[in-house]
Amino acid sequence: MMYVSTRGAANLGQFSDVLLMGLAPDGGLAMPESIPTFSPTDIEALRGLSYPDLAYAVMRPFISDIPEADLRALLHATYTEQAFHSPEITPLTPLGDSGLYLLELSNGPSLAFKDMAMQFLGHVFEYTLEKRGQRLNILGATSGDTGSAAEYAMLGKPRVNVFMLSPQGRMSAFQQAQMYGLNEPNIFNIAVEGVFDDCQDLVKEVNGDAEFKQKYDIGAVNSINWARVLAQAVYYFKGYFALGLPAGAEADFSVPSGNFGNVFAGYLAKRMGLPLGRLLVASNENDVLHEFFTTGNYHVRPAAQVAQTSSPSMDIGKASNFERYLYLIAGSDALQTKGWWDEVGASRPVNLQGSAHWDAVQASGFRSGRSTHADRLATIKRIDTQFGRLIDPHTADGVLVGEQFKRPGVPMVCLETALPAKFEETVIEAVGRTPERPARFAGIEKGERFCEVLPNDVAALKAFIAGKLGNSTHS
């Protein structure tokens, strides 16, 4: 399988090449030349597979440059009961007989769904770099959970350094402690004076400097990395099969959405042939995606207009993976996609209303909803009261929208994106008690912090990276 850019650059190479690449040279995102599809018979043959074997079946068509035995070994090393604290890896829990289900994605090392892909990235980075005799300096941005998931995945990986940007003062105390509490030689935490979108833009600016990127072996772990999206598609298959539906029966999924990577992975699974009906995009007050799916107008928000909310991992005004979605909506037309993103880059809206592309959006099965702080508190309290299940504020956004769009006779799977312990303040406000946390995280907020504060300035960031790595090439 060869890869191309959403903006037209061809011949990006195979899976391992785009794994280490981050952004494509033209600023676009890597996509497979075509999306392999499973027939209904193929889909049924996947039922009952263990998580690692299911991951192999789903991911293999996209990964042609890693030998079968090696890829299977990587996936079996990644998806273990020891790492994810459940033999099922992603247990599916019904909420009573409501037809709503929680797909538990938050039992990994950092207690967030990002572990599902990031643990694989840790293993496949190490494997690929070892094969090539290279090193990689990962530059990432996090609104809360990507950072800790990446850092936990890369701990002890001698060929990988992690430079992780986060918005200063905009994560929960638990999230900050998870990241900033790490004192490891290959982990560098940087708090940027700005919002998540500023962090994301800095990553893209550095990636856009080809000379700097090459000199310092800069790679990416944000959901701009194709391997992240691909690994996340697997749990849609796992969640679907766990419902035990008749062959071909539909299920709907509701997904808390900020950067669009998680829900785009569901769309990838659907395009591969999994019988998914609706994919629900659950937004918080930063409702850029909700605005698009209800009006056809995609208008990114400048940093100053990004609200600070109680579901902070979704406090995003510019959804990176949305470019991949519109690329597919445009029929893989890179010229059209580049035109749209030129408009986005100039802070102009892209409006598809009334066009053939809007018809394609409508046909793709996406719907959306929005929630507020009051909605989150009410939903957390109601789910706790009715079903004895405590959920975090992001998952509450997904449950609320899932309830709004629940179809009679069609299961609604809500993705649990983090454990409530990561957002104690909001959960306490909702239910009046402190959520339980795994013993390994007891008292982490009291520990020492290791973090550098930098201005929202690409020159300062480059200087910091260069200073830590020295002025020589690190491959």
Buried/exposed code over 108-141 (b: 16+ C-beta within 10 A; e: otherwise)? bbbbbbbbbbbbbbbbbbbbbbeeeeebbbbbbb
Q: Maximum CA pair distance of the chain?
A: 62
Of the candidates 98, 148, 82, 156, the residue with the CA atom closest to the CA atom of residue 419: 148
Residue 368 has which token pair? 């959306």
Hey, how many other C-beta atoms are within 10 angstroms of the C-beta on 369?
A: 22
d(CA 16, CA 134): 12
Strand partners, 100: 412
Sheet containing strand 218-219, edge to edge, reads: 218-219, 136-141, 160-167, 187-192, 452-454
Map residue 104 onto helix, strand or coil.
strand
DSSP string covering 98-112 = SSEEEEE---STTSB
Which residues, 6 or more positions from 212, have their beta carbon under 8 angstroms from its beta carbon? Answer: 206, 218, 462
d(CA 452, CA 31): 34
Q: Is residue 114 annotated as part of the catalytic site, yes or no?
A: yes
56/64 Cα distance (integer angstroms) = 12
Of 336, 286, 274, 275, which Cα lies nearest the Cα of 310? Answer: 286
Q: How far apart (Å, rounded) are the C-alpha atoms in residues 129 and 398?
A: 37
φ/ψ of residue 251, rounded to 5: -135, 150
Which entry of 114, 213, 338, 406 is annotated as an active-site residue?
A: 114
User: What secondary structure letter does DSSP report for 28?
Assistant: -
Catalytic residue ranges:
114
